[in-house]
Homo-oligomer: A and B are copies of this chain.
């Protein structure tokens, strides 16, 4: 099967609710792109001209402040899009977020100026945009809850469970330092908390890998 044909199918299977004409139009206007694992596909401050429709792989969306602090907001999976790129594009503002792939990821890049036309032209696109906002809003609320109400050990546990769920594996490949960044904490704190969890038997620690057990 040709690459064109595979991409064609990926778009339609991941976004089954799009009308055929819409999917066709997306293919004409958009551009297929592949990113390697751990590649930064959007930096803070960059101007956004595209919305990404995720076809395969996994993307992490981070929030950053001016001092270089960051934390993980949520993941983007196939069939999902980034609500923030829609927000910013609409206001012609710079991106307040950073996006990085977790594994090799294929996306469809759609120019934002075309999007607004589709909203009135295709009901399925309108519904998709609404649904995108809705789910991202929900995810953001959960993240906010964690930061506002939970202590670091609870947040760490939530972080690991979420990583397991989206990556569908008990072997989380990540360093303590990275986790610390994504929770806006420090490595030492994360290391100590992980050690405690290992002693409780919830997981076991290896270099660059955390193996979840009874979590």
A170 at the B interface (CB under 8 A):
no
Q: Which residues does chain B contribute within 8 Å of A83, judged by CB atoms?
A: 133, 137
For the complex, what is the distance from the CA of A120 to the CA of B127, rounded to whole Å?
Answer: 10
Contact partner, A63, options B67, B90, B137, B144, Cβ 8 Å:
B144
Contact partner, A90, options B84, B90, B134, Cβ 8 Å:
B134
Contact status of A87 and B148, CB under 8 A, knowing A126-B126, A133-B130 = no
Q: Which residues does chain B contribute within 8 Å of A123, judged by CB atoms?
A: 120
Contact status of A137 and B126, CB under 8 A, knowing A63-B148, A144-B147 = no
Question: What is the count of identical protomers in the complex?
Answer: 2
For the complex, what is the distance from the CA of A84 to the CA of B137, rounded to whole Å?
Answer: 8
A136 at the B interface (CB under 8 A):
yes
CB-based contact B144/A143 at 8 Å? yes
CB-based contact B87/A145 at 8 Å? no
Q: Which residues does chain B contribute within 8 Å of A71, judged by CB atoms?
A: 148
Q: Which residues does chain B contribute within 8 Å of A140, judged by CB atoms?
A: 137, 140-141, 144
A163 at the B interface (CB under 8 A):
no
Query: From residue A193, how far is it (CB to closest CB) to chain B in Å?
Result: 18
CB-based contact A148/B184 at 8 Å? yes
Which residue of B has the minimal Cβ distance to A132? B133
A96 at the B interface (CB under 8 A):
yes
A119 at the B interface (CB under 8 A):
yes
A129 at the B interface (CB under 8 A):
yes
Give per-residue flags for A70-94: 1 if the beta carbon is below 8 A from chain B beta carbons, else 0.
Answer: 0101000000000110110011000
Contact status of A65 and B144, CB under 8 A, knowing A84-B137, A130-B133, A133-B133 = no
A46 at the B interface (CB under 8 A):
no
Query: From residue A144, how far is it (CB to closest CB) to chain B in Å?
Result: 5
Q: Given A129-B130, A137-B137, A147-B148, 20 other A-B contacts at CB below 8 A?
A: A63-B141, A63-B144, A63-B148, A65-B148, A83-B133, A83-B137, A84-B137, A86-B134, A87-B138, A90-B134, A119-B126, A119-B130, A120-B123, A120-B126, A130-B130, A133-B137, A136-B137, A140-B141, A140-B144, A144-B144
